Amino acid sequence: MGNWPAKGNSNEVLLKGRRRRPGEPPKIVILSDIHGNYEALKALPEAYDELWVLGDLVNYGPQPAEVIEFVRKKATLVVRGNHDDAVAFDRDPRCSPAFRRAAEETRKYTASVLTNKHKEYLADLPHYRWVRRGRWTFYLCHAVPSDPLHTYCGGDAARWRKELAVAGTDFLFVGHTHVQFSLREGEQLVVNPGSIGQPKMGKPDPTYAIWENGSVTLHGYKYPVERTVERMRSMPIGTVEQKLLIDVLETGIAPKSNKERSHV
Ligand SMILES: [Fe+2]
């Protein structure tokens, strides 16, 4: 992953969309894993015709309600992440050991600041979406098509070949790992836009993808991470978990447990 083009910080005006000529395919912004980081989300410096969100709107971060409201108003397509599922149904998000306690503690906090309507919104999110735009087909899910909520799959080309066969579309959009990548297999492309709210690309910059006229480009941007960190400091969670989450936000590096790669 190289350096992405520098873009400015928050500009709500840009998010109102753009003019599109009749018959022109939409410009689609695809993002994932916002994790209650509203400061990062509202700084997204991109105009779009459609916004697609690949799950994990909530947990870990301090402003899950604001994130849900934003996504509910602006997104065209949204799928459920393992943390949305965990908060909506009060069950285990099945994190790696490195994040288990942080997920558990912030889940209690998240549930305490969401209304029943917010939880119903999360509970109603679909596991996947299959859609068409113009002559292109798209499959969206949080993890992988064969297990939309939980299975971790990095850049393993052989595994993605199987998952692309399950999807059967021109484009497969996934999140879950917080690591941005794209991988072509024949005529199909799998794209992970990375994470808005807890990126793990070795720097704190949120990342996203743009689909436009059959092509996908990968992007990132700066945001005032210190504002999210400040809010995290006042979250009612343990100091160890707080430190872990702040470290990940500030460095873009996930702690690894002894025997396995961390994933969220
Ligand atoms: Fe996530």
Q: What separation in Å is there between the alpha carbon of 227 and the centre of ligand 1? A: 20
pTM, two decimals, is 0.91
Q: In angstroms, what is the span from residue 196 Cα to ligand 1's centroid?
A: 10
Q: Is the separation of the CB atoms in 194 and 220 below 8 Å? A: yes
CA of 176 relative to ligand 1 center, distance in Å = 5
Question: Tell me, what's the pLDDT at 257?
Answer: 55
What is the per-residue pLDDT across 99-152, written as a single tens digit (0 to 9) for each? 999 999 999 999 999 999 999 999 999 999 999 999 999 999 999 999 999 999
- Residue spans of the domains in the chain: they are 24-251
Q: What is the pLDDT of residues 210-250, one digit of tens each?
A: 999 999 999 999 999 999 999 999 999 999 999 999 999 99
Q: How are strands ordered across the β-sheet holding 77-78?
A: 77-78, 50-53, 28-31, 207-212, 215-220
Which structure tokens are listed for 164?
């692309």
Give the environment of ion ligand 1: residues with CB less than 5 A: 33, 56, 264
Superfamily for the 24-251 domain: Metallo-dependent phosphatases (3.60.21.10)
Half-sphere exposure of residue 7: CA atoms within 13 angstroms, side-chain side: 19
More confident residue, 14 or 68: 68
Q: What is the pLDDT of residues 31-81, one digit of tens each?
A: 999 999 999 999 999 999 999 999 999 999 999 999 999 999 999 999 999
**Cβ neighbours of residue 132 under 8 Å, at least 6 residues apart?**
138
